[in-house]
Amino acid sequence: MNPLYQDMPVSIFAHMSALAVEHKAVNLGQGFPDFGWPEDVLAKAAEAVTHGSNQYAPMLGLPPLREAVAAHYGRHQGLEVDPAEVTVTSGATEALAAAILALVSPGDEVLLFQPLYDAYLPLVLRAGGVPRFVRLAPPDWRITAEALAEAFTPRTRLVIFNNPHNPTARVFTQGELALLAEACVAHDAIALTDEVWEHLVFDGRAHLPLASLAGMAARTVKVGSAGKIFSLTGWKVGWILAPRRLGEPIAKAHQYLAYATPPNLQAAVAYGLAKEQAYFDTMRAAFAAARDGLAERLRAIGYAPLPAEGSYFVDVDLTASGIAADDASFCERAVREAGVAAIPLAPFYAERPVTNIVRLCFAKREETLAAGLDALARARELMRGP
């Protein structure tokens, strides 16, 4: 067995979701919505299952989806994308795996921002990459020129950058992106940008793809996911946008990971990506309202939520909430004894974890949030400090 996997814990998302089922707890842990998916996109998928092909899709993806992805980014983010630069994958997870396997050779340094989405590091290590971390510090989780200068070296091959950021819910500013772009150009590094939360940015923010910054189009591999755009996380339809020189080796990695992605879901996503602006505005407004509702009521029961600029998540500072337990103990007791699942932040660190913050998913119906908040109030009573 490869030693990397021998002592590896089960992903915190799988762990907490299994506990939520076992203890019949409200699941505010793993990030999935319990409302908000478009019925017409479901109908398209059903029609494609019944009347379309159920055989292997083309390896690079259905042409109508590759065209729809290219057009979507032109319309929403001003990117000029040739459909030939799009590879459809089985979720963003497979896209990340294919990109990391194809771009990282043993000994290459890979820059990661910590806290980091849990899939990145095992893939980098399995590819033989040498991780270097840029630490983002709460409560503002900012990228600074000093931190980048310390982490980049002449051996930096790849930078894995997630924006909007899970688990901090940050949307990085144009200034922060400019610092990163300058460093990538100066070090001739490739950027792998995980932008799965690109449509979930709130309070009038616009998503700025790293690829749009000066010097970045030719060195950026952008990853997206239909799961987040259509509130259908189980679909696992994602994609990669990359200039040919990078996209071609990545497609070769993809051909021996998943090879192809269910054609009927691809057809429905192609249809959905062409939706009018109103769909995206309405979705964003609904999730922003859910975020506000959760944050406000968390404060009312004594919790201290951190700002949440994008994604499905609000983080809570346990110390500032008067709770003595660390994040892992809080989450273990909350799900078993109080009936609510949350996600600790410590597993998003490879070293020196922050241990007093937990993540809550607000992409839930009113009744789910209400039940979750009742349970969180119980959890606070159980674990309040002296």
339 vs 353, which CB is nearer to ligand PMP? 353
156 vs 166, which CB is nearer to ligand GLN? 166
Instruction: Find the shortest distance in angstroms from Cβ 359 to ligand GLN.
Output: 8
Binding of residue 163 to ligand PMP (CB under 6 A): no
The one-letter amino acid code at 301 reads I
Matching residue, tokens 């290219």: 70
Residue closest to 181 by CA, chosen among 201, 200, 209, 140: 209
Q: Taking CB under 6 A as the criterion, which residues in 294-333 touch ligand PMP?
A: none
Query: Do 304 and 380 meet the contact criterion of CB atoms below 8 Å apart?
Result: no
* 96 half-sphere exposure, CB direction, 13 A CA radius: 23
Q: Which two tokens stand for residue 109?
A: 């340094």
Residues that bind ligand GLN (CB under 6 A): 11, 13, 30-31, 166
Binding of residue 117 to ligand PMP (CB under 6 A): yes
166 vs 193, which CB is nearer to ligand GLN? 166
Question: What are the C-alpha distances in Å from 354 to residues 139, 260, 311, 338?
Answer: 11, 38, 20, 23
**Longest CA–CA separation in the chain, Å:** 63
Instruction: Find the shortest distance in angstroms from Cβ 118 to ligand PMP.
Output: 9
What is the total count of residues that contact ligand PMP (CB under 6 A)?
14
* DSSP alpha helix (H) spans, the chain: 3-6, 12-22, 39-51, 63-77, 91-103, 120-126, 145-151, 174-186, 226-229, 244-255, 263-273, 277-300, 327-333, 366-383
| Residue number of the CB atom closest to ligand PMP | 91
Among ligand GLN, ligand PMP, none, the one that 92 touches (CB under a kind-dependent 5 to 8 A) is: ligand PMP
13 vs 279, which CB is nearer to ligand GLN? 13
Among ligand PMP, ligand GLN, none, the one that 231 touches (CB under a kind-dependent 5 to 8 A) is: none
Among ligand PMP, ligand GLN, none, the one that 222 touches (CB under a kind-dependent 5 to 8 A) is: none
Q: Taking CB under 6 A as the criterion, which residues in 213-242 touch ligand PMP?
A: 225, 227, 233, 236, 238
- For 265, residues 6+ apart whose C-beta sits below 8 A from its C-beta are 45, 48, 226, 235, 237
31 vs 38, which CB is nearer to ligand GLN? 31
**How many other CB atoms are there within 10 angstroms of residue 157's CB atom?**
18
Separation between Cα atoms, residue 222 and residue 194, nearest integer Å: 6
Instruction: Find the shortest distance in angstroms from Cβ 64 to ligand GLN.
Output: 27
Which residues form the interface with ligand PMP (CB under 6 A)? Answer: 31, 91-93, 117, 162, 166, 194, 196, 225, 227, 233, 236, 238
